[in-house]
Structure 1
């Protein structure tokens, strides 16, 4: 494992730890899902920054981030989103998740497909990352529009 990969994994662990510590009073399901979304957001930030030109493209970092996004897309969501933890203070997950579980699951699968396409091109150049990020962003927005409390 090269140094940048080790540093990346260490940073990822730190982000997850901070997310869990910050939500220490929340039920474990909320802590787990918020931690998972922090990991997703961190990795999206890495490749998104490259795609927008805010960060220099680095093939190894882009590939690791895309690999992590695919790994996260394989999570089974049922334990993270029980109905009694939706729509409560301190969370942005709406009761609509429980009301339309099939739609929520479909959105998650769409996200999985989009990040798998990103994974296939992440290490091959900036142009492929930029092209793939459009579908990734759409998949995130599709879920957030219907199932997450607006800021």
Structure 2
């Protein structure tokens, strides 16, 4: 029993050490993208008819996207947090050479999220057209600034 407790303690220490190596800014920006993915999944499922349309849930998802779009981005992108410098990120070094473009693209996402916010609670047929605009804003950044998996 003592051996297995010691083994667990060592593994927990190693896992904590490995997790500590990822800067807080990287965790925060990945967290915002996870929140975006969750809410886009809700809206996308409704748009495709895979999930029953629910105006309240659609509105909440759209409201969450707008809230995320309001996060000030420059604090989440400190230099040295690209995929060439650390593990656990797909951010390409080009971000830091073009941070103004990245911030502008984030603004485009915010505008698309606001359009979704205005439409999401109005009916299932209103979600699809706005999903295209949001997807386009995401693609605009991912194509240039995110490494493939």
TM-score (norm 1): 0.82
2:24 corresponds to: 28
For 1:80, the equivalent position in structure 2 comes to 76
Gaps of 5+ in 1: 1-20
Could you say which structure has the greater relative contact order, defined with CA pairs below 8 angstroms and 6 or more residues apart?
2
Cα RMSD (Å): 1.4
**Contact 1:50/1:56 (8 A) holds in 2:** yes
Select the structure of larger CA radius of gyration: 2
> What's the counterpart of residue 68 of structure 1?
64
Measure how far apart 1:24 and its partner are. 3.1
**Match of 1:47?**
43
2:112 is the counterpart of 1:114: yes
With 62-71 and 27-36 compared, the bigger mean Cα shift is at 27-36
Moved over 3 A (4+): none
Separation in 1 of the partners of 2:79 and 2:23?
A: 13
The number of residues matched between the two structures is 130
- TM-superposition CA deviations, 1:53-86 (whole Å, max 9, x none): 2211110000000000000000111111111111
